[in-house]
């Protein structure tokens, strides 16, 4: 049996039994899963976790399922990489990359949330799963839904990068490309979700789905040797990942897995779509929606549903919000690849570039422990780097031609 007590409205506190509902019927506030922490505390310890298999279900008591995990049995437990080269570049002591570029099976942190969403969808008895997506979620629902035997309806903005569309199509879902931006797709889907009894992972399954993001945070703490970092830099689209990582840290403290928690949480966005970091900088909790214009398409949500709560977390923890230009994002992707051998998608460029800015402005101390969240793989957004990389050396198939180039390379010091 699971440890979920019920669902509770974050705004007005009304309680609801566990069901595929996602907003408070009274005030439309989002519903949040409430756990029985007292009972969890008795069964979930560091030792118990350490004995389990290395996937995201090792924290299953803190995930909103009733039975055994059904989907995503190889997802999660991605590397936490000590980024010494990047630390040197930034002039800080201790820097880590939480590397979700290698999440199984579709190479982004969305595999975490989808594992929980589809397990829950099956528990609720749905035969069809659906989502509105900027790309990564589409891939994960397409792939994990195929393996689990669901019918799949995937809605994406028609303007997505071609490679991101192929990476969904290969799993043969019903892919619906909508002539509009992500916010248009989302709105359409909320109307479709009203009409059809499907498990829309980020609509009627959202309270359960979103909980999956906590595993990214649980792993950070476990992999740091059971302690929370001084700073964590998180990319923001809807703001959900940020609020859930913070929830994961608080839960580990609540059940006694860590004793100390004084992490500062930092929100990072692309300047071309920065409603959350803008609100933080302006000292308001009113999120003004924007029309996204950035290469960081996986973060291009102009109307972030959890933006309000993200600003609350940032303020509560003494963090900050920062945003970076498209050129800074590209430079961030290139720097991460050059320094640490990790090829991140645009959202990873955002967190790296924002970290640099936060260190330079003194918001992050140089002798503190900082974790940068890198949430998706760069192979998915190669178009963003067209004309931005170095070039190959073209030679004839003979040794003379090669050595001519080699001399040039050596003169360049490589």
Which residues would be at the binding site for other proteins (CB under 8 A)?
A: 11, 22-23, 25-30, 110, 131-134, 136-138, 182-184, 186-187, 189-191, 194, 201-203, 206, 209-210, 237-240, 288-289, 291, 301, 303-306, 308
List Cα–Cα distances, 366 to 231, 236, 281, 362, in angstroms: 11, 24, 22, 8
Nearer to other proteins, 294 or 370 (CB): 294
Report the residue count for the chain: 414
Closest CA to 227 of 266, 264, 260: 260
Residue pair 209/199 in contact (Cβ under 8 Å)? The answer is no
Nearer to other proteins, 191 or 367 (CB): 191
Partner residues linked to 128 by β-bridges:
151
> Phi, psi (5° rounding) for residue 177?
-95, 115
Residue pair 212/323 in contact (Cβ under 8 Å)? The answer is no
| Contacts for 383-390: CB closer than 8 Å, 24+ residues apart | 383/161, 383/162, 383/163, 384/161, 384/295, 384/329, 384/330, 384/333, 384/345, 384/346, 385/330, 385/333, 385/334, 388/330, 388/334, 389/334
Nearer to other proteins, 113 or 221 (CB): 113
Nearer to other proteins, 42 or 197 (CB): 197
- Least CB distance from residue 189 to other proteins, whole Å? 8
State CA 339 to chain mean position distance: 22
Q: In what order do the strands lie in the sheet with 151-157?
A: 174-178, 151-157, 128-132, 199-200
- Least CB distance from residue 306 to other proteins, whole Å? 6
- Least CB distance from residue 331 to other proteins, whole Å? 25
Classify residue 327 by its DSSP letter: H
- Least CB distance from residue 196 to other proteins, whole Å? 11
Residue pair 71/205 in contact (Cβ under 8 Å)? The answer is no
Partner residues linked to 155 by β-bridges:
132, 176
- Least CB distance from residue 52 to other proteins, whole Å? 28
Nearer to other proteins, 134 or 381 (CB): 134
Classify residue 301 by its DSSP letter: -
- Least CB distance from residue 376 to other proteins, whole Å? 12
Nearer to other proteins, 201 or 329 (CB): 201
Nearer to other proteins, 202 or 271 (CB): 202
- Least CB distance from residue 316 to other proteins, whole Å? 18
Nearer to other proteins, 61 or 183 (CB): 183
- Least CB distance from residue 118 to other proteins, whole Å? 14
């Amino acid at each position: 049996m699971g440890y979920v007590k019920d669902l509770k409205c974050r705004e007005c506190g009304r309680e609801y039994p566990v069901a595929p509902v996602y907003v408070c019927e009274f005030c439309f506030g989002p519903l949040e899963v409430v756990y029985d922490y007292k009972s969890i505390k008795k069964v979930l310890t560091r030792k118990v976790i350490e004995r389990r298999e290395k996937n995201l279900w090792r924290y299953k008591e803190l995930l909103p399922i009733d039975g055994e995990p059904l989907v995503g049995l190889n997802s999660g437990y991605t590397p936490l990489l000590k980024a010494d080269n990047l630390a040197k570049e930034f002039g800080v002591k201790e820097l880590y990359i939480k590397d979700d570029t290698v999440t199984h099976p579709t190479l982004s942190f969305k595999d975490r949330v989808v594992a929980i969403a589809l397990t829950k969808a099956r528990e609720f008895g749905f035969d069809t799963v659906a989502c509105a997506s900027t790309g990564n979620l589409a891939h994960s629902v397409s792939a994990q839904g195929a393996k689990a035997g669901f019918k799949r309806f995937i809605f994406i903005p028609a303007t997505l990068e071609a490679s991101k569309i192929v990476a969904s199509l290969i799993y043969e879902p019903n892919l619906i490309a909508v002539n509009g931006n992500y916010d248009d797709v989302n709105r359409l889907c909320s109307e479709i979700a009203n009409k059809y009894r499907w498990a829309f992972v980020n609509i009627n399954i959202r309270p359960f789905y979103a909980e999956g993001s906590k595993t990214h945070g649980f792993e950070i703490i476990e992999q740091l040797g059971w302690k929370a970092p001084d700073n964590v830099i998180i990319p923001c689209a809807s703001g959900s990942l940020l609020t859930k990582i913070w929830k994961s840290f608080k839960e580990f403290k609540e059940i006694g897995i860590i004793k100390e928690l004084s992490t500062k949480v930092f929100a990072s966005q692309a300047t071309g779509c920065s409603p959350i970091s803008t609100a933080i900088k302006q000292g308001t909790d009113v999120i003004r929606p924007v029309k996204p214009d950035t290469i960081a398409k996986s973060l291009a949500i102009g109307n972030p549903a959890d933006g309000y709560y993200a600003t609350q977390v940032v303020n509560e923890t003494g963090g900050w919000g920062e945003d970076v230009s498209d050129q800074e994002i590209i430079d961030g992707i290139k720097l991460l690849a050059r320094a640490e051998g990790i090829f991140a998608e645009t959202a990873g460029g955002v967190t790296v570039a924002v970290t640099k800015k936060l260190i330079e402005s003194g918001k992050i101390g140089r002798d503190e422990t900082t974790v940068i969240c890198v949430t998706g793989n760069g192979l998915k957004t190669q178009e963003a780097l067209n004309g931005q990389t170095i070039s190959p050396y073209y030679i004839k198939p003979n040794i003379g031609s090669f050595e001519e180039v080699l001399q040039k390379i050596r003169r360049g010091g490589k």
